[in-house]
Amino acid sequence: MTVEELKSVVAELGMPAFAAKQLAQWIYQKGEGDIRRMSNISVAARQLLAEHYDVGFEAPVAVQHSTDGTSKYLFATHDGHTVETVFIPEDERGTVCVSCQVGCKMGCRFCMTGRQGFEGQLTVGDILNQIYSLPERNRLTNIVFMGQGEPLDNLDAVLTATRHLMANYGWAWSPRRITISTCGLRKGLQRFLDESPCHLAISLHNPFAEERAAIMPAERSYPLSEMLDLLRQYDWTGQRRLSFEYIVFGGQNDSNRYARELVRLLDGLECRVNLIRWHALPDETRFHEADATRMTAFRDYLSHRNIRCTIRASRGQDIDAACGLLNTKEKQVLS
């Protein structure tokens, strides 16, 4: 609930108005999951709250740990499904990769979540629970919406969740610590750009329209060229950062022809490109993992032409936690 919604709760229960802010601080700032321990609220009010409400923090139902330190958690959703969430430790950083849907509607050919299909939207509570109930919560420095689902297809819930994280009654996080990743939806992108100060990452993967459409059906409803026209209308020289995710498929989109087209498309746009190794999927023969030497050459080509480019380290592949591997289709629905 937002603070305004909490005000309605305390009014309904006959509690003083200032109790709404106290509740928000206990939930979003302190992460307290037990109403009975909210000590600056009267005992009678706590009892009344506990009779009608619960905070909603639910511990993960399963966990896998990678040899590289990455952890993948399975969380139950409000409607009995499950989603996967990944914690990635790295030096002084701790990043959680959050899901926003059960499965995904986008149907990208190279992604296990896309293979799963769409099974349901996550609520604000489902999204925040992946953060607040994460065992490594106190180690977090960054949150990325790069797990299961398309954030712009569940935009109301995603925006509300990020607002809670940035609010003064919550963690008061800078929007620079939160990144939303999308393949690009016409109905949601401009709204996100107008309403959210968080970083934006665009899943690009191929600079040629027809080839991109063959692996990313979203290209046909919202072409990359139109998306770039919209992005150029915004200022990317300040605190908000724009990046493009580019999965490198060996022998398919890793030649200089693709690098040249990327340079042309992104010319004059303040951004960075993150190269990602494709991780093999079961029974998938259309794509191949990229050669490290070729990925380095691709990065250098872009870097030498004034496009900031990095190769993202692959993490958690041994537990199917790496990019494109999250999937709960075979996980039994919880009853």
Catalytic positions are 84, 323
CA distance 20 to 45: 12
Matching residue, tokens 């950062």: 241
Of the candidates 119, 52, 108, 111, the residue with the CA atom closest to the CA atom of residue 81: 119
Euclidean distance between CA atoms 295 and 306, whole angstroms: 17
At 189, list the tokens.
């992108």
- Which residue matches tokens 């299909």? 117
CB 26 within 8 A of CB 38: yes
**At how many degrees (to 10) do helices 155-166 and 186-195 cross?**
20
DSSP structure string for 241-299: -EEEEEEEBTTTS-SHHHHHHHHHHHTT---EEEEEE----TT--S--BPPHHHHHHHH
Residue 70 C-beta-side C-alpha neighbours within 13 Å: 21
Closest C-alpha among 179, 108, 106, 174 to residue 146: 179
